[in-house]
Structure 1
Amino acid sequence: MAFWSKKDSDDEIRISKEEYEDLKKVEDKWLKLQAAIVTDERLIVLRSEYDQLKKDSTEFSTMQERLTKALEQCQYWERQAKLAKSSADDAQAKAVALEKKYNELYLNIDKHFADREKKLENDRLEAAKQDAADLKELQKRLQKEADDKVKAAQVSAQRTLVSAQKKLEAAEQSRKIAAEQLDKVKQLEISHEALESAYAAREEAVTRREKAVSGQVASAQNVYRIMRERANAARGIVPKKQHDGYLVLSSRQWKERYSAIISGKKTQCSASIWKSMLETPYDVALEADQIRKQIENDLKLIINDIGCHCMVPEVDNGKYKTSMEKIENSREKNVLYKWDLVANFKSSLWLLEIYTTKGLTVPESRRPVQKPRKK
């Protein structure tokens, strides 16, 4: 950068050319400003004074706005005061009118109550007169009713007297009839004694017959016992006297076919069941009708021992579907639903063919005794 200077002394300074030109421009502006001040074209003031004047001007404007708003509010409240005064005048006028109407109403109420009191008094008087007339009418009616009741009582008494006379005559007639019946009862008592004698004789005959039947039953039971012990001994069952003589010879699966209504149509269905053969201790020399009841009674006692839970009644014997429907939870139980007698002339013993819904559980004591093989 180039520097410009005059003389090299203590009063002289060294500046750049650019700084010199800037100072020159400032000096020109100052001279122009000084000339303008001399000609009264411009006024020089301090910066602080200028700021104060600007601030005062702003405050003045703000104050002017506030005064304007205050004036507007004064005008508004003046209008409101006029409206309030007008409303107060109207209210006062209405109050005067209401007071006038109240006074008129008060006078009308007094007059109304006076008229009403007078009317009530007249109504009470009329009601009292009507009550008096009603009482007289009631007295007449009660007197008439009393007279009618007296007459009715007299008539009723007369009728009662006539009825009593008739009843007395009827009682006399009944007494005569009772006497006749008493004679008949005495005759019946005599005949009843004869009937009692005949009845006692009949009872004695029935008692003798019952004793004979009991003896026959005991004899039959004794025959069954002897037959059972002999059959047990012949088959090698021990102890022969305590064992009931029933053995399970065989058991196999079987298909039970039956008809059922499914979806409104008759359908043939089948169920897997078990058919087993039991050997009884009774000889085939006995007829089936003679031994059937005894075998059924024995069967009820042994079904639990061979794994059956229940046995259907005799009327349902052989009815699979009916038995399953009648017995509760039949699908979970082993049900004996059918049995038939089979005569085995080879062993000379009656066999019992039974049908159960599940397989049997046969203990060792109910299996045929295995005979030792001959060497």
Structure 2
Amino acid sequence: MAASCVRAGRFVICSRVCRWQVLAPQPGSRFYGHGRGLPEKLAGGLKVGSTALNFAFVLGGTLGLYHTLRHYLQQQHHQAEQQCPKSSCARLSLTLYQYKTCPFCSKVRAFLDFHSLPYEIVEVNPVLRKEIKFSGYRKVPILIGEDDEKVQINDSSVIISAVKSYLVSRHKNLTQVVSYYPEMKSKDEQGKEVAEYNNKYWVMLEDQDEKRYYPTKEARKEEMKWRKWVDDWLVHLISPNVYRTPREALESFHYIVQEGKFGTFEGFFAKYFGAVAMFFVSKRLKSRHNLHDDVRQDLYKAIDQWLAAVGEHRPFMGGNSPNLADLAVYGVLRVMEGLEAFDDMMVNTKIKPWYRRMEKDIQKRQEVEQ
């Protein structure tokens, strides 16, 4: 993988030098005939003036070209840093263990694609999960990263924060960066042990880099707030909406089986028995999260909240370029593509322009890398 993930395009700048000419006096003019001294002096003066003007135009054009080129190269350098900010990413190897239809896995993929980071995908069988038997952490996504040494990163938000921190770090390898996100064990309401991670929404930046990535403290707080909102709220609206009715549940599991890693018997069992089970699970989730009977209304309301936070004055929450909150929202919503819930969302909310901008921005970055 190349050290830089953006190529500067070719361009040609043409400049035109304006030349002043002194016209010879015509017959009948007051400068024709006797008394040539004044016209000649005047012409000589104009020639000197035209030389100075020529020089001024050339100098001004050169300075303008210099500043234009400097601004262009600064923009290209900043875009390169956004995708692959340091040469050490050339030796970074990534493997993502996932379920393709998992919203948490989808937001990790959105992040990796946006930064043009090549990665291998291992699709995990959701029944046997033998692909992740090496790990004591039995959920997905799991990211295995290797630069100088191999390290396992769990939890989608930790993966995103840690890899982003690694990309912008000047001196630290991936293992050192991951140590900033320690695992904390606790028990949930049912007494089951769960893992949480400190600093999971925090990108570790050196002082001199903070202004470059977050022009204001509010920008950083805003990004963290909405990343947390995605994990605490938006992601919990997906299952109740895609399994809202028996028909939608069957449609969703048909897609899951088609895209996932199932054996023939496992696929048949998952499609029909899984659809029935998830239909009832979605009802329980609706009660747990205090959702409306018509869960579409909760989805639409969440979309309206997100769009209000982005506002009309900027294309993304990150400004002219998506930030980590943009990528998290996009990644979670993307798993509904092709399902009735996604189509309803596109028709009944104003999410479509923002969503299409996200698609185009990520696609453009992929095309540049190729």
Global fold match (TM > 0.5): no
Tell me the TM-score normalized by structure 1.
Answer: 0.22
Max radius of gyration: which structure? Answer: 1
Identify the structure with bigger relative contact order (alpha carbons < 8 Å, sequence gap 6+): 2
